């Protein structure tokens, strides 16, 4: 085993430099590390003196501090060594104290309640040493401030199918939506088995139909169901109340698989016209915290969810 170099600077100085390089501000770095701004400045001067070079371009009142070429080299080395070191220390400490690791996952409301929550319960049952907190976020979280470890995001297919356009090439595709009409078994009778009888029922639709596959106009044309009567449409703000109304027997909805798979499996919904379906123009991807993508706990959760989505 090679021995450590005797020229490694103090850990406190490396932490101060990393914080300033990442945050671009001595004040914010001091707040994060719970020290004074003058202490951060002293650590930086001592580090630059020890290495004999300038590591940071100091920001003024209107600009951020940024690493020099030497500072960038040091920052890459810190990220490659100190972050895994911190993760290892955290795992060792938690094992010694028999503490549960907390994992915070975000997703939008429909996906959280209809697909993700049951699988989170299953994951927690299999891994009692990991406590999973599920938070509702429609958009990508602020990774620095929202304390999110993993985000599951609904993105257009073009965001992941074209590498030149995808700013997150490490995203893993979780599930792609498939759309088809569904209703409660309470509404099922021989007459609803034909598309033309859809005009006799309330049609549940999301207010924002930016995708043609979740618009009843598209489906009436596909099924040859005749003209769509506007008075038959009931527009609701999001997918959750639409599915709730459909389960209650209040109308026919355009279901999005896999979000409704549990309801189909348990008989709360039935599929209409099973020979017809449309591919969704959106899919869900799983995105790890960019600074903790090598964390074994995050990878363990990601792997489990990818396995569940393949079933």
pLDDT tens-digit profile of 207-260? 866 788 999 999 999 998 888 888 889 999 889 999 999 999 999 999 999 999
Q: Does the pLDDT of residue 166 top 60, yes or no?
A: no
Question: pLDDT digits over 3-62, tens only?
Answer: 677 778 888 899 999 989 888 888 888 888 888 989 999 999 999 998 899 999 876 655
Domain 11-96 of CATH type 2.60.40.10? no
Mean pLDDT, residues 279-298: 90
Within the chain, which residue ranges are assigned CATH 1.10.10.10? 11-96
Return mean pLDDT, the chain: 86
Q: What is the pLDDT of residue 265?
A: 94
Give the Cα separation of 205 and 214 in Å (integer).
Answer: 7
CATH 3.40.190.10 in the chain, residue ranges: 101-175+283-309, 177-279
The pLDDT, as a whole number, for residue 96 is 62
Q: What percent of the chain has pLDDT over 90?
A: 46
CATH architecture of structural domain 101-175+283-309: 3-Layer(aba) Sandwich (3.40)
Confidence of residue 298 (pLDDT cuts 50, 70, 90): very high
Average pLDDT rounded to a whole number, residues 141-153: 89
pLDDT for the residue numbered 161: 47
Label residue 98 by pLDDT band (50, 70, 90).
low
177-279: CATH, from 3.40.50.720, 3.40.640.10, 3.30.43.10, 3.40.190.10: 3.40.190.10
pLDDT at position 156: 86
Position 42 scores a pLDDT of: 92
pLDDT in tens, 170-219: 789 999 999 999 999 988 766 676 888 888 889 999 886 678 899 999 99
Q: How many CA atoms lie within 13 A of 193 on its CB side?
A: 3
pLDDT of residue 169 exceeding 70, the answer is no
Reported confidence tier of residue 311, pLDDT bands at 50, 70, 90: low
**Whole-number pLDDT of residue 290:** 87
pTM: 0.63
Does the pLDDT of residue 164 top 50, yes or no? no
Give the pLDDT band (50/70/90) at residue 141. confident
């Amino acid at each position: 085993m090679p021995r450590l170099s005797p020229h490694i600077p103090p850990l406190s100085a490396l932490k101060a430099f990393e914080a300033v390089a990442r945050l671009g501000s001595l004040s914010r770095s001091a707040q994060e590390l719970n020290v004074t701004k003058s202490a951060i400045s002293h650590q930086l001067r001592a580090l630059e003196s020890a290495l004999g070079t300038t590591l940071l371009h100091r920001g003024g009142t209107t600009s951020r501090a940024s690493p020099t070429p030497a500072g960038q080299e040091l920052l890459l080395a810190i990220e490659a060594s100190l972050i895994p070191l911190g993760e290892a220390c955290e795992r060792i400490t938690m094992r010694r104290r028999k503490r549960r690791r907390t994992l915070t996952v975000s997703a939008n409301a429909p996906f959280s309640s209809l697909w993700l929550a049951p699988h989170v319960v299953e994951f927690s049952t299999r891994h009692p040493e990991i406590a999973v907190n599920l938070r509702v976020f429609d958009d990508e979280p602020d990774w620095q401030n929202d304390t999110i470890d993993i985000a599951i995001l609904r993105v257009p297919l073009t965001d992941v199918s074209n590498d030149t356009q995808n700013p997150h090439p490490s995203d893993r595709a979780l599930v792609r939506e498939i759309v088809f009409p569904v209703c409660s078994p309470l509404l099922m009778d021989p007459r609803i088995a034909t598309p033309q009888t859809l005009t006799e029922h309330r049609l549940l639709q999301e207010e924002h139909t930016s995708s043609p596959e979740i618009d009843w106009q598209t489906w009436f044309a596909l099924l040859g169901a005749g003209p769509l009567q506007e008075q038959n449409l009931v527009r609701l703000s999001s997918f959750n109340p639409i599915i709730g109304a459909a389960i209650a027997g209040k109308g026919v909805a355009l279901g999005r698989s896999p979000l409704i798979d549990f309801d189909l499996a348990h008989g709360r919904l039935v599929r209409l016209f099973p020979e017809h379906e449309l591919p969704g123009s959106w899919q869900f991807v799983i995105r790890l915290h960019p600074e903790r993508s090598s964390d074994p706990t995050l990878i363990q959760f990601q792997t489990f969810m990818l396995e569940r989505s393949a079933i």
